[in-house]
A and B are shown apart, each in its own frame.
Chain A
Amino acid sequence: MMCAESQLQEIVYDLAVSPDFEEDGLCFAARASGLYRSEDGGRSWQDAYASLELSAALTTSVVVVSPGFETDRSVFAGVPGGVLRSADAGQSWQVASFPPPAPFVSSLVISPNYARDGTLFVGTLEDGVFRSGDRGTHWAAWNFGLLDLNVLALGVSPDYGRDETLFAGTESGIFRSSNGGRAWREVDFDSGWAPVLSLALSPGYAEDGTLFAGSETHGLLRTQDEGATWQRLAEEPLSGALNSITLAPDFAERGEVLVLHEDGLWVTRDGGQTWTVWPSREAMAAGVASLATPRGLAPGAPLLVGLMDGSVLHI
């Protein structure tokens, strides 16, 4: 286990890792003071925005890498009022600003078909969803039918290239788009369970119609029919705010789900029947704020954990 303290004591909002993390050790940490980049699996961190020569800290709320990172080296970072994009693995950046007033970026997802469609979506706290179809160069708000513009989470279908489906978790519930974010429709989701803080679609969503939603007050919810009906899972112990959901790439076979509940990690290896605390006392003690799973959830697979105190654990 490795532990690296950041220069500032601040929450690690988000983590992203290279698909080839075990070889290149490349990862990114988004913090209030900016974006940090590590090439040694999180042992040491450098200011990823150094090339921008900023005069003040640029709070970074989310960071993601392209599905085709190995070839396109693209990284995207959500900052107040826009998105920064890098085509050289975070060495240099281009700015794409949204129309004023500056929105606060709460989530950023990339089309799994990004290599072909160049599509990204950004969820914002007051301005709904912005969409880019040209690899993050230009952005436009597409909020038709999105009756709640307080977007807290986005989830994109693994089969997006075919079904163009994505979900938005908001202050009052969940919305679905079936046409690549051009229009939204309400999902039949009990508004009493909202706000929805996190979303995760099954890797086999096209076949199993499974989507998980993390609520602020009602823990984990699941649909197995594309949002038509919902069941609450594990009322105990998952009764509070559920900030992040990660499904194993082979979720359909192994049923592994890792969630960030309150400030601790819980895992199930049987599709949600039983849950156990992630076996890291250090992580639990400091309070978990974000995580990244470079190689799924199998026992022994590496895990990066961003903590409330600004440090990042490599477990």
Chain B
Amino acid sequence: MSKTRSRRVVFQPATYQGLQRGINQMTDAVRPTLGPRPRIVAIDRILDDKMPEMLDNGGIIVRRIIQLADRDEDVGAMLVRDVLWTLHDQVGDGTASAAVLLQSVFNGGVRYLASGGNASGLKQHLEQGMRLILEELTGKSRAVSGAEQLSQVARSICYDASMAKLLGEIFDIIGEYGRLEIRPGRSRQDEREYVEGLYWDRGLVSREMVTDAGRQRTEFENGAILISNLEIEQPQQLFPALEMALRQEVRSLLIVANKFSEAAIGFLLANRRPDKFQVIAVKTPGYGEQEQAWAMEDLAVLSGGRPFVKSAGDSFAAIRAEHLGQARRVWADRRNFGIIGGKGDPRALRQHIASLRAAHEQAEEVVLRDKLLQRIGKLLGGSATLWVGGATELEIEERQEVAKRTAAAMRGAIMEGVVPGGGVALLDCQPVLQERLEQSQEADARAAYRILLEAMEAPMRTIAANAGFDPSQVMAHVKLAGPGHGFDVGSGQVVDMAEAGILDASAVQKAAVYAAIASAGLALSVDVLVHGKEQSSPASAKTPGKRKRL
């Protein structure tokens, strides 16, 4: 059985009313997760009858809420969902703060517009106020360094002392661009591991190439590297490379190519001379031509070799000794291969990394940014792995997710510094907004600054309420204590937040402010809703990809 909805047009005041209900519902679903004492949001599972998911992360919660029953409300809810999802992907944290800010600004705006204000003017002044806040946050940011400070930042994000300690140490070593893998642990404890050099997830093409049977690994010193994405179908394709290597008295050679036929592998195995010539082979890292090109470029810069590229029509026919890369140590096992001490030109390597950093700063697409980050992390010459522990598989999974978002926020903290946490940085933006309010004559401007003044309190009020304190009383005490002071829900005291080590990543705060105010302004400028046709069928309501009703 199915039903068909016809197109429906919604005008004011129903537009604002619908949007407001949707924004409030979505925000209220996320609100309990803000602060060091979050409350749990239980989400019924769609596909099975297992226990509901117990979540305390706004970025994850909004992903689970995929449709509200009322279509007017749904538009508002999906606006919040998209904002928080994007925020979570980009900076890893700040979703609940953004939600309560967005809600406060939107609701304040609706009240003002209902009394006859101008939506366009209000939006414009909200954006001006937003820029003021962002400037204030930038001005209040201070650099963070050292394992201890970084652990404090991590603790303010993940509220997990064990994880925060290790993440502080790890980021002190790897820095904002370093390579960190977060994997499910093997015990209840969190553990970390550092790997020297760099490696790619491509292993030996044949187990016969393993020379250290105990470790299932092959390792050699002062190895040469032949970099390519060629497809080696016939052993004859390898002749020029091997002849040149033997002529040049190369003792150890790693061949990287996109494909090795059985015949080619057999040929390589047959030509090994344990005492004179070692040769191993791995496939070109990366999926697809672009990723392979990146991997080959990075390998070439690191080792000083020249890549042989299939699409350029390259072959090994004219290979010369200087085309081979070199490294102090080369290793490979069945899953990975790596090099330590690549002998490429260090100046070229530094320039290459600088250009990747510049590209990372300019890249807007999340996937591209991640790829660039991975490449830079590899090239820095080492990597860290955090093994996340837990008592159950579910706990490990949840803590792994927390570690990932904390790590993302910490990269931002190192890049852009930190501000006092617990909503204090936003509260401390009030004086500049108050000053601008007093200078403004225009009604829309005055309304915008009043709305923002109120919104700047929303995160701290929410944190206090979530922890079981009276937000109004907390606000009164905090304001009395002055700038930089906030409420430590752990001790129930008003403290200097920076001194107490309660810090937020400036990048996260700024991203949350930008996302919330810009989106609220956009929502306030919506006048008409037009719903398209949609077919729904109870029979298919639980299939993957369908939106879930709240």
Contacts and interface: CB of A to CB of B under 8 A. Distances in A.
A145 B328 contact: no
Contacts of A126: 328, 341, 343
Contacts of A101: 221-222, 328-329
Contact of A149 (B147, B175, B341, B379): B341
B347 A191 contact: yes
Contacts of B340: 141
B6 to A, nearest CB: 62
A149 B346 CA distance: 8
Interface in B343-396: 343, 346-347, 349-350, 353, 379-382
Interface string A176-206: 0011001101100001000000000000000
Contacts of A100: 221
Interface in B318-356: 328-329, 340-341, 343, 346-347, 349-350, 353
A148 interface: yes
Contacts of A86: none
A182 B341 contact: no
B350 A143 contact: no
Contacts of A186: 350
Interface string A82-107: 00000000000000000011000000
Interface string B480-505: 00000000000000000000000000
Nearest to B380: A145
A147 B346 contact: yes
A101 to B, nearest CB: 4
B174 interface: yes
A186 B343 CA distance: 18
Given A145-B380, A148-B350, A179-B173, 18 more contacts: A101-B328, A126-B343, A144-B194, A145-B381, A147-B353, A148-B349, A149-B328, A149-B341, A149-B346, A170-B346, A171-B346, A178-B145, A179-B146, A179-B147, A179-B172, A182-B173, A183-B172, A183-B173
Contacts of A148: 346, 349-350
Contacts of B341: 126-128, 149
Interface in B443-463: none
A143 B172 contact: no
Contacts of B329: 101
A127 B329 CA distance: 10
25 contacts: A101-B222, A126-B341, A127-B328, A128-B341, A143-B196, A145-B178, A145-B381, A145-B382, A147-B349, A147-B350, A147-B353, A147-B381, A148-B346, A148-B349, A149-B341, A170-B346, A171-B346, A172-B350, A173-B350, A178-B145, A178-B146, A179-B173, A182-B173, A183-B172, A191-B347
A146 interface: yes
B346 A185 contact: no
Contacts of B379: 147
B173 A141 contact: no
Contacts of B174: 144, 183
Interface string B175-205: 1001000000000000000101000000000
Interface string B394-415: 0000000000000000000000
Contacts of A146: 381
Interface of A: 100-101, 126-128, 141, 143-150, 170-173, 178-179, 182-183, 185-186, 191
Contacts of A145: 175, 178, 380-382
Contacts, number: 65
B462 to A, nearest CB: 36
A185 B145 CA distance: 12
Nearest to B342: A149
Contact of B381 (A144, A178, A179): A144
A-B residue pairs, 7 tightest by C-beta: A148-B346, A144-B382, A101-B221, A172-B346, A183-B173, A172-B347, A182-B173
B380 A147 contact: yes
Contacts of A172: 346-347, 350
Interface in B136-184: 145-147, 172-175, 178
Nearest to B343: A126
Nearest to B177: A145
A153 B379 CA distance: 23
Nearest to A149: B341
Interface string B220-253: 0110000000000000000000000000000000
A78 to B, nearest CB: 18
Contact of A150 (B147, B175, B346, B350): B346
B415 to A, nearest CB: 13
A255 to B, nearest CB: 31
A110 B502 CA distance: 36
Contact of B172 (A128, A149, A182): A182
A56 B346 CA distance: 35
Given A172-B346, A191-B347, A143 B382 contact: yes
A173 B347 CA distance: 9
A225 to B, nearest CB: 15
B154 to A, nearest CB: 16
B380 A144 contact: yes
Contact of A144 (B178, B221, B347): B178
B175 A185 contact: yes
A145 B175 CA distance: 9
Contacts of A173: 350
Contacts of B347: 172, 191
Max chain A Cβ within 10 angstroms of own Cβ: one of B172, B196, B343: B196
Contacts of B221: 100-101
Contacts of A143: 196, 381-382
B211 to A, nearest CB: 15
A170 to B, nearest CB: 7
Given A100-B221, A127-B341, A183-B172, A141 B196 contact: yes
A277 B329 CA distance: 45
A99 to B, nearest CB: 8
A178 B146 CA distance: 8
A141 B175 CA distance: 18
Contacts of A150: 346
A150 B347 CA distance: 11
Contacts of A178: 145-146
A173 B345 CA distance: 12
Contacts of A170: 346
